[in-house]
Amino acid sequence: MVGGALLMTSLSSCWSWINPPQPTKYVTLGFQFPALSADEAKNAYLAAYYYDSPTTIKVLLQQPIGTPDYSNQNYSNPNPGGPQTSATLPLYGYEALLNADAKCSSPFVGGETKDRSNAVVTPSSVNTCNVYFAIYTNIGANKPDRSNRLYATNDFFGYASSDFTYSMAALDGKTSESGTRKLGWTLVRHTVLEPSAAPGTYLVTQNSAPDTDQALPIRLHAPTNGLISQNVQTWGHK
């Protein structure tokens, strides 16, 4: 019995040692999008990405849409072989984006306020890092870009170095944007309203959502201008 107990202890120790470390922080996000046929989904990937410069994209993680992903017990394909309209993505590794070498965290003023007018940010010293989402056709690029995107969204998962509020306007004067962001990592929801009293003008908000809102699906759509549509962000905006 003693030998058996020692063997069990030894095997348990080995099992603990060979298991890969689990991420200390992660959030599982759900996505909905217009149907992709089985053929369209073959090379389609759902990507979480960030910018390490105003125009340079780096992929944080990604997974195929058209086949099940069983890693970490993530069954991301609810309809193998059929049309795809939804997916889930366990998002992790984002804490590392705050390291200096990742170049994701940067001043909100001069970054996200670039190409805007009348920007008011309180406090003005806040830094942010945003993780965006897209479905794209991966035929070798291994990251989304203008030429291969299928669907994207203006909602994003973002970090703020402090609570802050902001307001600013598009250079053409047609869009006013404002938001309230919370300290730390939050899901930021994007909305656009076109007031009936002022057609052709738009009110954009980007606010940190409560943690409970993370259970609600993020909707991806065909690419459009995020300043006048709720569908996706303007491409190349850090």
* Tens-place pLDDT, residues 76-97: 555 555 688 999 999 999 999 9
The answer, yes or no, to whether residue 103 has pLDDT greater than 70, is yes
Residue scoring higher pLDDT (141 or 168): 168
Q: How far apart are CA 63 and CA 87, in angstroms?
A: 10
Q: How far apart are CA 161 and CA 185, in angstroms?
A: 9
The answer, yes or no, to whether residue 8 has pLDDT greater than 60, is no
Q: With CA atoms as reference, report the closest residue to 134 among 186, 183, 89.
A: 89
Q: Average pLDDT, stretch 6-17?
A: 44
* Tens-place pLDDT, residues 178-214: 999 999 999 999 999 988 998 889 999 999 999 888 8
Q: Average pLDDT, stretch 134-161?
A: 93
pTM summary value: 0.81
Given this model, what pLDDT does residue 215 score?
A: 86
Given this model, what pLDDT does residue 214 score?
A: 85
Q: Which helix (H) or strand (E) holds 117?
A: strand 116-122
Residues in the chain: 238
What's the mean per-residue pLDDT of the chain?
83
- The confidence band for 231, taking pLDDT boundaries of 50, 70 and 90, is very low
Question: Which residues, 6+ apart, have CB-to-CB distance to 87 below 8 Å?
Answer: 30, 31, 33, 46, 63, 65, 76, 77
Residue scoring higher pLDDT (112 or 20): 112
The domain ranges of the chain are: 23-219
- Do residues 238 and 53 make contact, with C-beta atoms less than 8 angstroms apart? yes
Q: Average pLDDT, stretch 51-65?
A: 91
Q: How far apart are CA 49 and CA 238, in angstroms?
A: 11
The answer, yes or no, to whether residue 9 has pLDDT greater than 80, is no
Q: Average pLDDT, stretch 32-50?
A: 92
- Picking from 111-120, 161-170, 218-227, which range would have the lowest pLDDT averaged per residue? 218-227
Which 8-state DSSP code applies to residue 214? Answer: G
